[in-house]
Chain A
Amino acid sequence: MWNNVEEFRDWYMASGMPLRPPFKNPVFVTDNAMSLCLFREGRFQVELYLNEPFATSPPHTHPGVESAFVYLAGNIQFNLEGRDNPDAQQWQKPSPEGYHMLFGKTVSSPDGIPHWLKIGPEGGAFLSFEYWKDQDPVSVTVNWNGDSVGKEHDKILNKGDKVSKIQDAYEDWAEEWKPVNKMQHHPSSYEGFEAGWMAAIEVMLERLELAKT
């Protein structure tokens, strides 16, 4: 077994990148990316990420997970808080062998340091090497602290129902509020408005309860 994520990464690359996807939880889908776990052993795993052209992710962390990324193909700008993040556009060139000149280049992403991505018109592909310190590995897509990348991502973060609840109540209120003609002002009823806020308060209370446990 390996002592840290870098050891695992070096072993995997030196071993010819074995393809051994697990039966359990191999594939994850968000609004702009898909992942496949290529190899999992104990608390270590490597996920292949494929990103849509022009995809972005907001700054985020993966609590309890030490990560290291390896560049495969496409046009990817990795950014890590507190580090130099040189513009990767200068390396959008093929190597003499016909691969991307950044193929195999790596950057470590320690637990707790926010990172974010910006993908160019070609899309992007990279490997995410992970050491899950406190739990069995699933996918860093679901172990995510920060804004999500969209509604599909919200669904797998289990935010979907609550976000929809607030959104639906708000939309009902907005529909009721909407003037039918220019002379019409605010309706007399606050019921829809109230329903929206009640839903929001309900979610906040639930979160407070969760925070207590």
Chain B
Amino acid sequence: MKEWNEVEAFKDWWMAAGCPIRPPFEHPLHITDMAYALTIYRKGQYQIELYICKPNTQTHVHAHPGIESLSVYLTGNLSFAKDGAEFPDLSQFQKEGANGTHMLLGKSLETVNGTPHALKVNEEGGSFLLFQRWSNKKPRSVATEYDGVTLGKKHDKQIENANVE
């Protein structure tokens, strides 16, 4: 079985392999009050979740303990902040790129290794891929391995379900 030694190598392999989309049968979908997520690929301790985020929403600063992750921009108007810093102003990049895509399509952020971060979504909504390496547990969703103020009742329910199973 193919294994990788870090999340970046996993991302590079997945891109080079033609971005295969193979949602697992077990726990493929996670719904919160802010976003819907589909696991589009899972192998061993690695997986990729595709997040679709509602417009005009924002998380509090939070962390995903035991998970190394890397975000890749797909589309919409999203802003990520690390370690309690301010959200960067990405308005200069809210432009159309090649083939009618977002000019930030495919751009990735620094790896986050269980450290605090936050996400802000503006009026267009947005979508990104989250590449993950889970160090101890079987991968499920970063929405259920969540250290911080939750996003509402739906999010609470997801966490509760994950803890029961």
Contact = CB atoms under 8 A, between A and B. Distances in A.
A73 B105 contact: no
A29 B74 CA distance: 17
Interface of A: 16-24, 26-29, 33-36, 40, 48, 50, 52-53, 72-74, 93-95, 97-101, 103, 122-125
Given A18-B19, A98-B25, A123 B31 contact: yes
A99 B101 contact: no
A27 B23 contact: no
B75 A94 contact: no
Interface of B: 18-26, 28-29, 31, 35-38, 42, 50, 52-55, 74-76, 95-97, 99-103, 105, 124-127, 129
Contact of B29 (A23, A50, A101, A103): A50
Contact of A73 (B28, B74, B124): B28
A94 B24 CA distance: 8
B52 A36 contact: yes
A24 B103 CA distance: 12
A125 to B, nearest CB: 5
Given A24-B96, A27-B76, A16 B38 contact: no
A48 B23 contact: no
Given A29-B55, A34-B36, A40 B25 contact: no
A103 B26 CA distance: 13
A100 B102 contact: no
B28 A125 contact: yes
A27 B126 contact: yes
A123 B29 CA distance: 7
Contact of B52 (A35, A97, A101): A35
